[in-house]
Structure 1
């Protein structure tokens, strides 16, 4: 590793990106899998537990109130850090309050508290995404985005796996209090980090903050093509990942084998993929990385087709998971960096919230037909189809690259 690369990786800005990613990752599973475990333990009906997935809507609809963070600046800590501090402190209070509810006695109050948590968690995501875009140069976006994603994964691991393990020894109210305390990492980072310079100004009116981000984006050449690219770039990878657990079970792997291999190999492979991807991004740039990582993550899906043909082999399972997670982590680092580069710094919060909402659409749309496809054609051909599904996104890359170069001039 040369001195310049080492200096970039270990710079304060990269540490801020990582720690902020951690702060954003912690709340997510506390309103989904951990909350579901708590409700199941309290004897809440399964149909009611299923409805609780609706409390996650703020993560999808966050672009609706993102203009508030572009238009208004609080009277302390600056345009981004002020809102970061408010959302983080409010989120801590909301998590403690959620832990004090009783799913068995007042499920409606649990739903309300969980919704408040997801609202402020999504709001924190909006402001931190905007901060990262404005704090890092285009050259640093790739590495910064990969460190943010890895921090996010560690936060999810702490809340998901750590939260469930702690719940065997502590009351859920104590678990939620401890998870809320872990968010003080984000508060401390906000207090110590710098406020990014406001190079592009800010919207003068609230109407301008709502309308102009969309007008400015769609005025660009190939605006719809760029949006289509965001929808398609990881669709093959997402399509495969929605069906991996049923696939493993169909091959006869035990749940213990799946859990152990997926956690041990999958998680750390994704972390390694993000770090390797970030380092390559720093040297190769966003567009070349999108090409290389996109091809690699498409080809890696074929390892599942090979596993389907080989049958039940733990070594094959480990290899397939490592290849898929490693390349997916690399692809995600380039993908997130590219989305950030598309935003105008005057409307960073709103435009990034819109683009990141679009990023989740394919996962929702393809989840329904994926099972039917696998059942119709069999596992080997299904995963081959997932690889082919990645091709349209790659075919758009020449236009994406041309527009990226034009915008950089």
Structure 2
């Protein structure tokens, strides 16, 4: 028998890593994480617009996304606080996963039995519940991924997570619209019962995450490094110095220092005054595509596109183009470095908003819609790949769950808030002016990318390197 080529064997080993149980687990967790997002944003916006709800009210619904923007506030609690009974039975991570997934299923079922004509405020509350539970689930899944496998598996787990996430977005977007169209006697006429069927099916699909949570094992606890041990010693010293305080109060202050303050102190310590530039970039980098996404489904309805057209062109084909763009972005990052591709990605995303302004002047034109969606999602995928690599380079692995929650929260906070006013802006100035204005908002981001590149070099964290070098920096930081 001829010997196995070492190069061929290494490729086989690289492929086999995707069959590892942890990688497969993240595929299902990715599906559970991606499912709720469109159901409180894009798909819900379509439902409300078809029901005749005013544009300005629909875009106010986007403010439920602020739950994702503020998740860093309760991330330390999720990271360290055990749940009564559940934590003893399932463990710290799986208990929080189960609780958040049960809340998601209940919230989606509640939306299914709601009527926008009868009680729009109740729908807003339920959408907020879904967003809060979804953000909590994301916090736990991030921590689970980081803690459950060695570094060599992290890339494969991230890849399977994104595959499951994008698949769920197709299901929650195109799938929900197709279900609503199928359950309706006349797809051109609003039918509350059809949307009820669609959202009940989506609530049932949360079983994917629930079953996965009950089957998988709890990850091992993260071993504290020397710096964390020193922080724990300072807490003990604090308790001894302030023994006159009630014991519960002293322990709470000490716990708050480690769980809440230390991750932020670590970030500020490493980047100093440059931290403000970095946070400004994180908070505005996705402003163009986030604001576009808030109004997009309302725009498609106003342009006269049907559920079937949106399902085929945007929710399926568009997601596929996003995946292609992300793959291309990963290659470009490895070849040219993070900051260069972040700059190019931000420029492309801003320019594609001008294509939407052009589409708004054409009206119902499926060929133009296909072209615009292709270029927009391809650009968004490239920008996202570079941005995720950038966020990863900023994160200290010891505080990865809380710091990543902070970064992803800052990323959405300002764009989501500003996007809530988009409906009223369109009512006053119309779509071409809106999309042109959003494109212009993306231009200051280019300056921030340039400034942040200098800040990273000053902090000794030059992100214009390959992905392999980035990972090395993280482990040695």
Q: Could you say which TM-score interval applies, normalised by the shorter chain?
A: 0.7 to 0.9
Rounded Cα–Cα distance in structure 2 between residues aligned with 1:184 and 1:22: 11
Rounded Cα–Cα distance in structure 1 between residues aligned with 2:54 and 2:371: 39
Query: Hey, what does 1:226 align to over in structure 2?
Result: 278
Query: Hey, what does 2:104 align to over in structure 1?
Result: 91
Does residue 195 (structure 1) correspond to residue 218 (structure 2)? The answer is yes
Q: 1:295 aligns with which of 344, 356, 378?
A: 344
Q: 1:397 aligns with which of 444, 448, 453?
A: 453
Q: 2:319 aligns with which of 255, 258, 267?
A: 267
CA deviations on 1:25-76 (whole Å, 9 max, x unpaired) are 2122323444455556667677665554444432222222111112223223
Rounded Cα–Cα distance in structure 2 between residues aligned with 1:40 and 1:174: 18
Per-residue deviation at 1:270? 0.5
Checking the alignment, whether the CA contact within 8 Å between 2:98 and 2:213 is kept in structure 1 is: yes
Per-residue deviation at 1:220? 1.4
Rounded Cα–Cα distance in structure 2 between residues aligned with 1:299 and 1:38: 30
> 1:5-404 residue pairs with structure 2 within 5 A?
5-36=14-45, 38=47, 51-73=60-82, 74-135=87-148, 141=154, 144-168=157-181, 169=183, 171=193, 172-201=195-224, 205-208=254-257, 209-221=259-271, 222-231=274-283, 233-234=285-286, 255=305, 259=310, 261-263=313-315, 265-277=317-329, 284=334, 288-289=337-338, 291-292=340-341, 294-295=343-344, 298-299=347-348, 318-319=370-371, 321-361=373-413, 363-364=415-416, 386=442, 389-390=445-446, 392-394=448-450, 396-397=452-453, 399-400=455-456, 402-403=460-461
Rounded Cα–Cα distance in structure 1 between residues aligned with 2:117 and 2:414: 35
Provide the secondary structure at the position in 2 that maps to 1:219: helix
Provide the secondary structure at the position in 2 that maps to 1:199: coil
Rounded Cα–Cα distance in structure 2 between residues aligned with 1:46 and 1:393: 33
CA deviations on 1:258-280 (whole Å, 9 max, x unpaired) are 84544454221102233455577
- Unaligned stretches of 5+ residues in structure 1: none
Rounded Cα–Cα distance in structure 1 between residues aligned with 2:54 and 2:325: 40
Inter-CA distance 118–293: structure 2 relative to 1 (3 Å threshold) = closer
Bigger mean CA deviation after superposition, 342-351 or 160-169:
342-351
Rounded Cα–Cα distance in structure 2 between residues aligned with 1:7 and 1:279: 21
Inter-CA distance 229–64: structure 2 relative to 1 (3 Å threshold) = same
CA deviations on 1:268-308 (whole Å, 9 max, x unpaired) are 11022334555777xx49x9355446535635765776998
Per-residue deviation at 1:237? 5.8
Bigger mean CA deviation after superposition, 389-398 or 62-71:
389-398
Per-residue deviation at 1:193? 3.2
Per-residue deviation at 1:393? 1.0
Per-residue deviation at 1:239? 7.3
Checking the alignment, whether the CA contact within 8 Å between 2:342 and 2:387 is kept in structure 1 is: no
For this pair of structures, how many residues does the alignment match?
403
Inter-CA distance 279–121: structure 2 relative to 1 (3 Å threshold) = same
CA deviations on 1:317-376 (whole Å, 9 max, x unpaired) are 64554344224213313422442453445544332221111111453477579988x978
- Unaligned stretches of 5+ residues in structure 2: 1-7, 185-192, 233-250, 463-469
Rounded Cα–Cα distance in structure 1 between residues aligned with 2:123 and 2:299: 34
- In our comparison, the structure showing a higher alpha carbon Rg is 2
TM normalised by structure 1 equals 0.76
Inter-CA distance 148–4: structure 2 relative to 1 (3 Å threshold) = same
Checking the alignment, whether the CA contact within 8 Å between 1:130 and 1:352 is kept in structure 2 is: no
